[in-house]
Amino acid sequence: MKRLNTFFCMHNCLLLPIAMAIALPACETSKTPVGQTHSETSTNVASASANVPTPPVARPTVRIKAGASTALNDSQGTQWSADTGFDGGEVEDRPDLNVTGTPTPELYRSERYGMNSYSVKVPNGAYLLKLHFSEDFDGISSPDDRVFTYAIKDGSASGKTIKEVKNFSPWKAAGAQYKAYVDTVPVTVSSGELTITFTPQIENPQINAIEIVPN
């Protein structure tokens, strides 16, 4: 009897590792859906990750008060940064000037004149560019006394021209001296930068403010 028990013990001890070896792969394969391999599962996970949309880049509104040394809060509650982004030019400030044709005459009481350009870094996308002008120099006596060309570029000053305005007179465009005129131009930026160039014809180019508003 002792020999028989010993035989059964040895027999069971030999069968136990074999049974475990058979059971282990069954447990592992249960982690993968029927009909799908591990490589297919990895591919599906990678595809799902690739399909996650990239969050859009924030496109803030840019407002520049030309000729201003400090930021300005206008009478409508809109904030304008101090003058920035210009290449060359001089500044004129007329704190008591009365400008018509606008609810914010204070926006036109300073200007930059004689500049070569303004450049602003912005994320790519569609914008409304607003250029604010007013003929406020008392040394100008007729609409033809100040004439210049300005061009809006996608990128630097050598970039693609979006719009060019030749023979521009702020007085003529507004219809009167000391009156506001705003040129609103839809633009699409693809180079991360927007530039406005100025070319003098008669007298110096001038500008009062610049807005870049996401569209």
Quick one: 33 and 95 in the same domain? Answer: no
Quick one: 21 and 106 in the same domain? Answer: no
Quick one: 45 and 71 in the same domain? Answer: no
Task: With beta carbons less than 8 A apart as the criterion, state whether 144 and 160 touch.
Answer: no
Report d(CA 21, CA 15) in Å as an integer: 10
Count of domains forming the chain: 2
The CATH code of the domain that includes 99 is 2.60.120.430
Q: Is 15 among the domain residues?
A: yes
Give the pTM.
Answer: 0.76
Quick one: 71 and 158 in the same domain? Answer: yes
Q: pLDDT tens, 118-133?
A: 999 999 999 999 999 9
What is the span of the domain harbouring residue 38? 2-50
pLDDT level of residue 46 (50, 70, 90 thresholds): low
Instruction: Identify which of 105, 84, 103, 83 has the alpha carbon closest to the alpha carbon of residue 95.
Output: 105
Estimate to the nearest angstrom the gap between the alpha carbon of 188 and the chain centroid: 10
Residue 33 DSSP code: P
Q: Is 57 among the domain residues?
A: no
Quick one: 67 and 116 in the same domain? Answer: yes
Mean pLDDT of the chain: 85
Q: pLDDT tens, 141-178?
A: 999 999 999 999 999 999 999 999 999 999 999 999 99
Q: pLDDT tens, 176-201?
A: 999 999 999 999 999 999 999 999 99
Q: pLDDT tens, 3-37?
A: 444 444 444 444 444 444 444 444 444 455 555 55
